[in-house]
Amino acid sequence: MCGIVGAIAQRNVGNILITGLKRLEYRGYDSAGVALLNDKGITRVRRQGKVAGLEDAVTEVSAAGFIGVAHTRWATHGKPSEANAHPHMSGSDLALVHNGIIENFQELKDELQSQGYEFTSQTDTEVIVHLLHQVLETGVDLFGAVQQVVKKLDGAYALGVIHKSEPDKLIAVRSGSPLVIGLGIDENYIASDQLALLPVTNRFIFLEEGDQAEISIDGVRIVDADGDSVVREAHEFDGTHEDAEKGEYRHYMQKEIFEQPAAIQKTLEDRIDSPADLIKAFGEKAPAIFDQVKTVQIVACGTSYHAGMVARYWLEDIAGIPCQVEVASEFRYRKHVVPEGTLFVTISQSGETADTLAALRDTQSPNYVGRLAICNVDSSSLVRESELVFLTKAGPEIGVASTKAFTTQLAGLLMMVLALGRQKGLADSEIEKVLAEMRQLPNLIEQAASLDKPIEKLSEHFVEKHHALFLGRGVQFPVALEGALKLKEISYIHAEAYAAGELKHGPLALVDSDMPVVSVAPNDELLEKLKSNLQEVRARGGELYVFADKNAHVKEGEGIHVLNMPAVPETIAPIVYTVPLQLLSYHVAVLRGTDVDQPRNLAKSVTVE
Ligand code: AGP
C-alpha cells in the first residue's frame, strides 16, 4: 500500500527520499511523487508508474531541497494518475503526503468547495491539505494547524507535511496508519516503514496512535491525541541493512524462500529446549492466560489465514482444544458467539493489516481470556495492542508473496499448540517427541528447497496454462490452498485448491488434459485415500504433479509427474511441503515474465479495508 518518506537536513534530501521510496516499492503502488523545499520554494514532481521514472524526472528538473516529503500511492480514491499522485498541495507553499483513508472526505470536500477551494485530484487526501491551508490563513503555525485539522478527520491516516514559511519543520502524524521517525545526526526522517530509512539510520521512534510530531534537524517534539507533550523512547533496529537487500538472488521472493531454514532456526532458537520452556516465548502473562483457555479463535487474512487453518488441525488433534478460524474481513462484520475461555489469536506478517487489526480491536467480550498476536514485526500495531505476543523471527519479508513469514508462523503456531496442550495435561514425553521433530525443520526445509532445479523444469509445463488445481487432504488441505494462492498471485494463473475428498463433489468436472493438478502427498494416514483421489483425476485425463514422500510409493507414469520429498514426520509435514509449492509458483512466474516481487494490483501490507 502507500508509502511515506520524509527528511529534514542541512543537505539535499532528494536522494534520501528517492532511495527510501525504492525501498518501499515492495508494498505495491501505482504512482510516486516528491516535494522538495529550498530557498526558492517547493518543487513538486509526480509520475505515474515506477519510482525509477520519478527519479529521472527529479534529475531532469534538478529538484533539490533540505526538507521534503515523498510518497508511493496505491490507488483507493481516484484512478492511478499523475494528478492523483501525492504530494498534494494547497497553493504553492504547502505540501502533504498521506497514507490511509479519510472516511468523511466527501462532506469536508463539499464544504471546502463551497468556500472556493478548487480540487485538482479525485483523492480523499486533497481535503486535508486544503483544510490545513484554511487554518494556516488564520495565523496559526504549521504544527498547531495540523493539530486542529486532524480533529476533523475520520478514518485512518499517517501524514507528512512541509510548508515554505516554516522550512525548519517537518510535521508527522500517526492515526491508524503506521509511521516511524528515524533519528540521524543533525538530520531526521519519517517513513511508513523503518526499512525505508535503513541506509541513513538504525535508530527509530515508533509513534503511538494519535501522536503528532514536529521534527527539526536536531530535535523531535511529540504530542499525543489529547495534545499533551509525550516522550517516546528511541529503539535500535535489530538486524542489518543487508537483511532487506536482494543479495545474489534474482528476486526477493527467491531469496526469502531459500532463507527459510535460517528463519525457522532463528524463530525456534532458545525457545524449544524443553516442554517447560515453550510458554516463555508468548510473554509473561502467558501462563496465567493459557491456563484459562478452553477454546481458540484464530483471525487472519490471506497466507496468514492459511497458517491459522493448519493450526486448527494441530490444536484439535494434538492438544484436544476446539478451534475456529476465520478471515478477518468476515469475522469483523458478523455477530459471533464467543464461548467462555476463548483465546483470540491474530496472525500477521506485517502486524498492520487493517481487517485483522479491526477484528482485534473488537474483542470486548469478557469471554475472551486473552489476545495473542503471532507476528513478524515487533513495532507493529498488532503487537502493541495484544497482551500476548509470539514474534516470528523471519526478518524483513519484501516480496509481496509471503513465504518465510508463513513457515515461521507455522513454527510459532505449533509451539502455541504444544504450550496450550501442556497446560491441558499433554504429556511432556509427547511434547518432547514433536520438539525433536521441530529441531529437524531447518534441515528438512533445506532438503525440500534442494528440489529447486527439478521444480524449475516442471514449471515449464505450467507456462501456457490458464488454470490449475491443487489438492491436499487433512492438514495438507491448507497447504494446497496456500500453493494455489501463491500461483495465482505471482503468475496470474487461475488456481483453486480443494480438499482432495471434495473433488468428486464438483471440481472433477473441470479436469481434462488442459488442467494440471498439483498434489502434496506426505506419508500420512490419509495417503491411501489421496492416492484414490489422484486416480480419479488420472482417469479423466488430468495431468498430475505430485510432491510425494519418498516412501509413499507414488509411481511416476504417463500423466503422473512425481517429485520425491524427504521423509518428513507427519506433524511438521505442512511446513516442509509448503516449500516446493512456493518454488513451483516462483519458477512459473519467472517463465511467464511477471513482476514476481510486486505482482499487479497487490500490496504487501494491506492497511486499508
Ligand atoms: C500472501 O502471499 C499475501 N500477499 C497476502 O495474502 C497476505 O498474507 C495478507 O495480506 C495478510 O498479510 P499479513 O500477514 O501482513 O497480515
Share of the chain above pLDDT 70, in %: 99
Residue 432 Cα to ligand 1 midpoint, Å, equals 32
| Distance (Å) from CA 286 to ligand 1 centroid | 26
> Where exactly are the structural domains of the chain?
3-236, 249-426, 449-602
Q: For the chain, report the end-to-end CA distance as a whole number of angstroms.
A: 11
pLDDT in tens, 276-294: 999 999 999 999 999 999 9
The single residue listed with the C-alpha cell 494547497 is 90
Looking at residue 528, its pLDDT comes to 81
Please state the rounded mean pLDDT for residues 184-197. Answer: 94
Residue 204 Cα to ligand 1 middle (Å):
25
CATH number of the 249-426 domain: 3.40.50.10490
Over 90: is that where the pLDDT of 525 sits?
A: no
Return the HEC string of 338-373: CCCCEEEEEEECCCCCHHHHHHHHCCCCCCEEEEEE
- Residues β-bridged to residue 546: 519, 562
Predicted local confidence at residue 37, as pLDDT: 97
What average pLDDT does this structure show over 417-431? 96
| % the chain with pLDDT above 90 | 80
Cβ-contact 201, 24 below 8 angstroms: no
Q: Identify the band that residue 176 occupies on the pLDDT scale cut at 50, 70 and 90.
A: confident
Q: Check if 304 has its Cβ closer than 6 Å to any atom of ligand 1.
A: yes
Q: Which of 2, 301, 323, 375 is catalytic?
A: 2
Q: Is 489 in the pocket of ligand 1 (CB under 6 A)?
A: yes
pLDDT band, residue 379 (cuts 50/70/90): confident
* Cα torsion 542, 548, 551, 556: sign: positive
Q: How far apart are CA 78 and CA 410, in angstroms?
A: 38
Phi and psi (nearest 5°) for 203?
-115, 130
C-alpha cell at 250: 534474482
What residues have CB less than 8 Å from 374, skipping those under 6 apart?
Answer: 307, 345, 346, 347, 348, 389, 390, 392, 409, 412, 413, 416
Residue with cell 472556493: 116
Cβ atoms of 84 and 58 closer than 8 Å: no
353 lines ligand 1 (CB under 6 A): yes
Which residue is closest in CA terms to ligand 1's atom 10? 302
**C-alpha 205, offset from chain centre:** 21
CA of 609 to the centre of ligand 1 (A): 13
Q: What is the DSSP string of 433-500?
A: HHHHHHHTHHHHHHHHHTTHHHHHHHHGGGTT-SEEEEEE-GGGHHHHHHHHHHHHHHH--EEEEEEG
Indicate if ligand 1 lies below 6 Å from the C-beta of 403.
no
* pLDDT at res. 404: 97
Mean pLDDT to the nearest integer, 399-423: 97
Q: Is residue 301 among the annotated active site residues?
A: no
CB atoms within 10 A of CB 514: 13
Question: Using a 6 Å cutoff on CB, does residue 598 contact ligand 1?
Answer: no
- Roughly what angle, to the nearest 10 degrees, separates helices 441-449 and 260-268? 170
Mean pLDDT, residues 534-541: 83
pLDDT score recorded for residue 498:
95
Nearest CA to ligand 1 atom 7: 302
Binned at pLDDT 50, 70 and 90, residue 452 comes out as very high
Q: What is the pLDDT of residue 2?
A: 86
Q: Could you tell me which of 382, 377, 378 has the C-alpha nearest to residue 359?
A: 382
For residue 305, pLDDT beyond 90: yes
Kindly report the CATH number that applies to the domain delimited by 449-602. Answer: 3.40.50.10490
Quick: pLDDT tens for 241-289.
666 778 889 999 999 999 999 999 999 999 999 999 999 999 999 999 9
2 is catalytic: yes
Q: Which atom of ligand 1 is nearest to the CA of 382?
A: 16
Q: Which three cell numbers stand for residue 489?
A: 498471485
Q: In the 3-class helix/strand/coil scheme, how is 174-206 assigned residue by residue?
A: EEECCCEEEECCCCEEEECCHHHHCCCCCEEEE
The arrangement of secondary structure in 3-236, i.e. its CATH architecture, is: 4-Layer Sandwich (3.60)
CA 545 to chain centre: 30
Q: Are strands 94-102 and 155-163 parallel, antiparallel or unpaired?
A: antiparallel
Which residue of 26, 299, 304, 600 sits with most ligand 1 atoms within 8 Å of its CB, as the best mutation to test the pocket? 304
Looking at the chain, how many residues does it have?
609
CA of 282 to the centre of ligand 1 (A): 22
Asked, colleague to colleague, whether 249-426 and 449-602 share their fold, the answer is yes
Q: Is 256 helix (H, G, I), strand (E, B) or coil?
A: helix
Query: Which residue's CA is the closest to the ligand 1 atom numbered 5?
Result: 302
pLDDT tens, residue by residue, 73-108: 988 888 889 999 999 999 999 999 999 889 999 999
585 lines ligand 1 (CB under 6 A): no
Distance CA 129, CA 149 (A): 9
